Structure 1
């Protein structure tokens, strides 16, 4: 089925052909205002108080001067605009440029971009000329870490046949449960994960108001520029009273393997009660560095780079890994885990170009209790931080986690009393932030004041079971497919939700995605009963849902279990919904919820789409709503209360206007 949503030239559809990758109605851009600064592609005032406080300022390419062409806006999966911040970008052909005005003085730039893949996969490289004020620099761009195809766990080969011929392939209108021969697909099949980003220290401060012009090279048929982040980076931090890795043979040029030197410095630091200091430089490390009861401090993540190749193992490791790579790991939980680890002030640059779920090639991993991970930049690893508990009392703060093949961070199994605050996560290949209570519950954890942008698969923030969990003050924008902004699910063998789940004062932007496998729209927040009832005390309070493609809220059970599981004890209070393509609430499950001071405007279809469990009995829907008062905007009319059926399985989509001050 072809499903379409249009607003001023953008379309949402279940399209997969490579020809759609560059869709979007090209047009030449002119600046709306000089130095147009955004957060998650919006006026910062619209998301004030939500998300991470960062040192850089974001500027979208589509609002800058250019002689290239704007692509988008478009929310169609498998297209370049859909994966861009704000769902638009600028396409440059060789010699074309896009030009930004610096809003503040800066000496460092980050460019988010896309280049074409090589015809047979593997990516290409091409220079980008950067003129910042009177300076001219060259940035080396690559698509070697981009461009995945096909079905999960995906492939780098654009010419591959189906990886799983017996799986559902709803996007091409076939469900081959036992299909012989395999269905015909258009190649490359399901291209995705188009973007990467590159950082550049200018070596000199460029004043506010100066221009930054990015000019595309003739080495690539096209270059898409999504955005520019500009920053004034402080001088490198020097630590004199420490075990300096240089004293143990580390090579700051990156030519020799420095892993043995790190091991020696860590052993010396533990014996002498010193911290380990890693000065400016690029240090080659191609395996895990095991950390326990030690502090490792860099000069700052722009200066201290710990970079490694992904290395194939001659035989699989006991945990199933077939590769290793750079990463800082606590001891395995079965061995007691690690404690009192402090990692700060450096970058981890991995070399992960494919997703292999058994591989331990994460930036930070293992079990670390009573630990702090602060101020890291984690790039090109499988998962930025994957913790396997049991473990407790760990704080993950002020990190930048970008361009991951899978999750940004995952608290997996028995993580308790831990905090993830003020992190910036962009372009993950799975859930950006997740708590997964598989086999052993997670308890007392908080995700607070983080910014998540453009997860290409799954959710911005996902909670899979657990006890007494808080998700607060986060900003989540532009999820692409098979998930949305905020999710709570009884899935993946997770322990039940118990105690409370508080989802408080978060903002979602351009979420409520189209679920390609179900052929329906999700909610910006969606709660999914798949493997058991969800009946903990769930309170969604003070959240803002802006420009949701389909619904703001969705409550759902999978069709085969819709008569088995329900969602109850839900409470929505002090909510703002500004724009939905369809409804404020879509209920496709049995259960109940209360609503108080939930204000909505620019709602595309009926305010409540209440299907219950689709039995349509004379007694009404199996899902009931309670009006506790103050629900403005006419979305929760009296005839929609209690268990009144208002079901339209796939209502027409009406794109709302852009969000504006309330």
Structure 2
């Protein structure tokens, strides 16, 4: 069943003494979200950020404020829904602007923006003017090449780059190093001047960062320039990069240095397989260390769409970045892909920044990945060269900056275990920003299970498709101390048994997270998802603990137990605050849900459709202690 006809009578179980006074007000009185009091550990959430973010609608502007509708409708060329905080500013006329005053010093800027596609597709390049304290600084180069996907389907492979009808993925980002440092208190203005001639500009947010000078080459490293690479000349440096990496892998040099500069790369860096096993060469590098001068300084980029690259690259994995098999360290570089779509238009692909088996002792630190299909895909199917198979084990990702992808940010699959993603930021991913997929494409599904992986202290913003964080099967996986905001259509955090994973077992922990404006409607807008959703589509999801978490202004429910073929037994929910579930309930058990949950110190306020709601016919039992049961009605005025 869908949730489109939930106007019938249901049972609403309220939380007695744990409810705040705000719950006593009728739902109609909550035009603005109810702001909860964060838990004591809230200061520990999210990634430690080197940049400071500014919402342009919170500054001063001469333009049009765009605000989303009540249900944050997605997929219908809705700029405000795809905006941070669900608001942005549109500049239509010469002289219009958005400005703000900095609270930090900065020598760089990132602008999240949208400009129109070219009439026939393929994007266009335009400029926008940057001013500081009233003085012109420079033109910022904006592009719509990597945005604008069209189609009414929610199947990502069904979308197209050809203009027509509804569009989504409307935003991209422009970044620039400035010619000097501007002090705290500088008033920055983004202004449409006479020669800034896009039909319109939608500006959403700005990041300011004091970028350190380029790091110096470590004495033990050999530069890719020693192998023939030339910075900033627009020529393909793949052969030089590959030669340096191969020399390191063979023990001829101690590590590879990528100096400051723009380095064009049009083939994946990997290990050539003399046996030519499989249709594509899919042997990764091992025992390699690659270091750069900083992600703002040492930047690899591709201009060739992956499907047009040819050579030994797998079309899905693309023609840029690195294929990793074992014991590899990569740090302080950027990898910018050339993808524009995920699987549509004749199976065109966006490519993958980092992929492979990954093995043991692999550490990826301070790497910026943008315009890829997937930022990082960890794991290969056992069937792909079985003699080389092995799961990711003890991997460490930190300081990652993944932006504007067409699918996942980082996905741990194929039995990856005891691995971490920490202190990283993700924005505008086209599928799960972070995921553990305990897939069955392993040597032994009874043994090779995705387990004991940790996603902690990460900041996730604006996934334009799917979840902020997801776990599909396995055991011992933990989601801790993260901030997730503004999902377009799916939960902020989801545990699910779709995608046919190895079943859940043991404990899965969701602890000390903050979720803001998450959840949404998808699949032809027939399914509505909560901020945290448990979906036992097939096998059961046992052993779930949700604690020490703040959920605010959910598009639909705060916590949702979804109808499925499996059960969700003995869920423990404690010290959780849910406020302002604007089109749903604080906690919902759907009519086909099975299992149980125990609530301890749970505070719910401002839920439109009841604070704890168990649909008629549901076999899900919620223990609220001394709570009272009262009749409730699922609201019908949902604008659906």
Q: TM-score, normalised by structure 1?
A: 0.80
Whole-angstrom distance in 2 between the partners of 1:254 and 1:46: 49
Bigger RCO (CA 8 Å, 6+ sep): 2
Task: Tell me the residue number matched to 2:412.
Answer: 411
Task: Tell me the residue number matched to 1:365.
Answer: 355
**Contact 1:383 1:405 (8 Å CA) reproduced:** yes
Unmatched segments (≥5 aa) in structure 1? 5-41, 160-186, 331-337, 616-620, 630-636, 641-645, 655-662
Task: Tell me the residue number matched to 1:285.
Answer: 265
**Contact 1:520 1:650 (8 Å CA) reproduced:** no
Whole-angstrom distance in 2 between the partners of 1:650 and 1:590: 23
Residues 222, 378 of structure 1: CA spacing in aligned structure 2 closer, same or farther, 3 A cutoff?
same
Whole-angstrom distance in 2 between the partners of 1:523 and 1:534: 17
User: Does 2:328 match 1:341?
Assistant: yes
Task: Tell me the residue number matched to 1:639.
Answer: 629
**1:275 aligned residue (255, 270, 273):** 255
Whole-angstrom distance in 1 between the partners of 2:361 and 2:569: 35
Equivalent runs, 1:210-359 vs 2, <5 Å: 210-216=186-192, 218-241=196-219, 242-270=221-249, 271-290=251-270, 291-311=285-305, 321=315, 324-330=318-324, 338-356=325-343, 359=349
1:64 shift after superposition:
1.3
User: Does 2:604 match 1:600?
Assistant: yes
1:512 shift after superposition:
2.9
**Contact 2:595 2:619 (8 Å CA) reproduced:** yes
Whole-angstrom distance in 2 between the partners of 1:515 and 1:99: 35
Whole-angstrom distance in 2 between the partners of 1:352 and 1:119: 19
**Contact 2:3 2:527 (8 Å CA) reproduced:** no
Whole-angstrom distance in 1 between the partners of 2:268 and 2:563: 41
Whole-angstrom distance in 1 between the partners of 2:297 and 2:66: 35
What are the Cα deviations for residues 279-313 of structure 1, in whole angstroms up to 9, with x where unaligned? 11000101111231111111001111100123455
Matched positions, count: 556
What secondary structure does 1:488 align onto?
A: strand
Task: Tell me the residue number matched to 2:145.
Answer: 144
1:233 shift after superposition:
0.7
What secondary structure does 1:416 align onto?
A: coil
Whole-angstrom distance in 1 between the partners of 2:246 and 2:414: 29
Whole-angstrom distance in 2 between the partners of 1:359 and 1:121: 16
Residues 256, 314 of structure 1: CA spacing in aligned structure 2 closer, same or farther, 3 A cutoff?
closer
Whole-angstrom distance in 1 between the partners of 2:160 and 2:170: 12
1:73 shift after superposition:
3.8
What secondary structure does 2:374 align onto?
A: coil
Residues 94, 329 of structure 1: CA spacing in aligned structure 2 closer, same or farther, 3 A cutoff?
farther
Residues 318, 340 of structure 1: CA spacing in aligned structure 2 closer, same or farther, 3 A cutoff?
closer
User: Does 2:125 match 1:128?
Assistant: no
Residues 240, 573 of structure 1: CA spacing in aligned structure 2 closer, same or farther, 3 A cutoff?
closer
Residues 272, 320 of structure 1: CA spacing in aligned structure 2 closer, same or farther, 3 A cutoff?
closer
Task: Tell me the residue number matched to 1:155.
Answer: 159
**Contact 1:392 1:418 (8 Å CA) reproduced:** yes
Equivalent runs, 1:170-185 vs 2, <5 Å: none
**Contact 1:320 1:359 (8 Å CA) reproduced:** no
Whole-angstrom distance in 2 between the partners of 1:122 and 1:358: 13
Equivalent runs, 1:206-605 vs 2, <5 Å: 206-216=182-192, 218-241=196-219, 242-270=221-249, 271-290=251-270, 291-311=285-305, 321=315, 324-330=318-324, 338-356=325-343, 359=349, 361-368=351-358, 369-389=360-380, 390-439=391-440, 440=445, 441-481=449-489, 483-517=490-524, 519-535=526-542, 537-558=543-564, 561=565, 565-581=566-582, 582-588=584-590, 589-605=593-609
What secondary structure does 2:117 align onto?
A: coil
Whole-angstrom distance in 1 between the partners of 2:537 and 2:214: 50
What are the Cα deviations for residues 607-646 of structure 1, in whole angstroms up to 9, with x where unaligned? 12211xx54xxxxx411111246xxxxxxx3226xxxxx6
Whole-angstrom distance in 1 between the partners of 2:579 and 2:548: 13
1:318 shift after superposition:
9.5
1:124 shift after superposition:
1.6
| Bigger mean CA deviation after superposition, 357-366 or 585-594 | 357-366
Task: Tell me the residue number matched to 1:204.
Answer: 180
Whole-angstrom distance in 2 between the partners of 1:245 and 1:411: 30
Residues 353, 518 of structure 1: CA spacing in aligned structure 2 closer, same or farther, 3 A cutoff?
closer
Task: Tell me the residue number matched to 1:25.
Answer: none
| Bigger mean CA deviation after superposition, 471-480 or 142-151 | 142-151
What are the Cα deviations for residues 412-446 of structure 1, in whole angstroms up to 9, with x where unaligned? 11101100001100001111111111104201100
Q: TM-score, normalised by structure 2?
A: 0.82
What are the Cα deviations for residues 382-401 of structure 1, in whole angstroms up to 9, with x where unaligned? 11111115121100101110
Whole-angstrom distance in 2 between the partners of 1:606 and 1:158: 44
Whole-angstrom distance in 2 between the partners of 1:625 and 1:339: 46
1:652 shift after superposition:
4.5
**2:47 aligned residue (41, 48, 52):** 52
| Bigger mean CA deviation after superposition, 318-327 or 526-535 | 318-327
**Contact 2:338 2:350 (8 Å CA) reproduced:** no
**Contact 2:498 2:537 (8 Å CA) reproduced:** yes
**Contact 1:245 1:278 (8 Å CA) reproduced:** yes
1:238 shift after superposition:
0.6
Residues 209, 243 of structure 1: CA spacing in aligned structure 2 closer, same or farther, 3 A cutoff?
same
| Bigger mean CA deviation after superposition, 191-200 or 269-278 | 269-278
**Contact 2:337 2:350 (8 Å CA) reproduced:** no
Residues 314, 239 of structure 1: CA spacing in aligned structure 2 closer, same or farther, 3 A cutoff?
closer
**Contact 1:348 1:377 (8 Å CA) reproduced:** yes
Residues 125, 547 of structure 1: CA spacing in aligned structure 2 closer, same or farther, 3 A cutoff?
same
RMSD of the alignment, in Å? Answer: 2.6
1:321 shift after superposition:
2.4
Residues 76, 313 of structure 1: CA spacing in aligned structure 2 closer, same or farther, 3 A cutoff?
closer
**Contact 1:449 1:474 (8 Å CA) reproduced:** yes
What secondary structure does 1:83 align onto?
A: coil
Whole-angstrom distance in 2 between the partners of 1:310 and 1:471: 37
